[in-house]
Structure 1
Amino acid sequence: MSKHALQPAGNFPKAGFWKRLAAITYDFMLCIALIMVVTLIYQQGILRLIYGSEALQAMADSQMLDIDPVLSTILFFSVFAFFAKFWTHGGQTLGMQVWGIRVQNADGSAIDIWQALLRFLIAIFAWLPAGLGFWWMLFDKNKRTWSDIYSGSDVVQLPKNIHKK
């Protein structure tokens, strides 16, 4: 699979801590909205069609819907798809676009789907120990988080005067 160069091209500095945190916060809110919509469609659409309204209400009342591995799997893949699409096609999620940062390979090309999966999985584990994998960038001489290190990618700051066409 050939790599495609991202635009604008250039040798950009690594993104700073606060901009990355702001983009993460923005994307987190978008992911919460995505989770809410997917859950609504699953529970009120698909499950209602399968079981009917009364049976679904009885299941909810008896807390049978509290732990649903099918829903958990759907949500996991939905959130991954959100990040993978943006990271592999333009290098920027919506939060990253707002804050002018981008994920890319060292040569300026877009990351591939495997790198996106690795970034996503490592990010989950990086946030579990009180965000240590993210805070790591404050001590790394190259400003890399665990996700950056293990996926072989960089998060860079795009200049304000360069606009995508």
Structure 2
Amino acid sequence: MCYEALLVLALLAATLLLPHLLVGAFLHRVAAPFTLWIQVFATLLVYFVWFWSAGRRTLAMKTWKIRIVASDGSDLRPAQALLRYLLCWPSFLLGGIGILWGFIDRDRQFLHDRLAGTRLIGER
């Protein structure tokens, strides 16, 4: 997750920070905080749903040889990837409770994976 966070920070810098700096410099305006949060949410939504769907993987997932699949082992459909993304937010924002759930889950799944019908698998 730390490696993925570094990649996501670079993505957000390119898609969020740079455009807002240019707007601020040339138009002398600053975006409202709510607008920034919506942009972060939407950028991450597009990034993760696209990579998790149809068997694609993020660079961090490729590096660590991890895939996300449906419970039956098939590739995720976009709707299932979207559900997983939406369920990830409470997992992180509530003190990481959904991540800690993996320590007590019988299959070692995160709470958002259990609820979305997905699972992480390692590749050989």
What TM-score results when the alignment is normalised by the length of structure 2? 0.86
The structure number with the bigger radius of gyration is 1
The CA distance in 1 between the partners of 2:101 and 2:56, in whole Å, is 22
The CA distance in 1 between the partners of 2:10 and 2:93, in whole Å, is 21
Q: Does residue 121 of structure 2 align to residue 156 of structure 1? A: yes
1:68 equivalent in structure 2 = 33
**Aligned CA-pair RMSD:** 2.0
1:78 equivalent in structure 2 = 43
Unaligned 5+ segments in structure 1 are 1-23, 60-64, 160-165
2:112 equivalent in structure 1 = 147
1:16 equivalent in structure 2 = none
1:128 equivalent in structure 2 = 93
Count of residue correspondences: 124
8 A Cα contact 2:20 2:31, kept in partner: no
Partner amino acid for 1:42?
P
Partner amino acid for 2:82?
L
Aligned runs of 1:52-131 on 2, under 5 Å? Answer: 53=26, 55-56=27-28, 59=29, 65=30, 67-131=32-96
Partner amino acid for 2:59?
L
What TM-score results when the alignment is normalised by the length of structure 1? 0.67
8 A Cα contact 1:42 1:71, kept in partner: no
2:16 equivalent in structure 1 = 39
Larger helix proportion of the pair: 2
The CA distance in 2 between the partners of 1:111 and 1:132, in whole Å, is 24
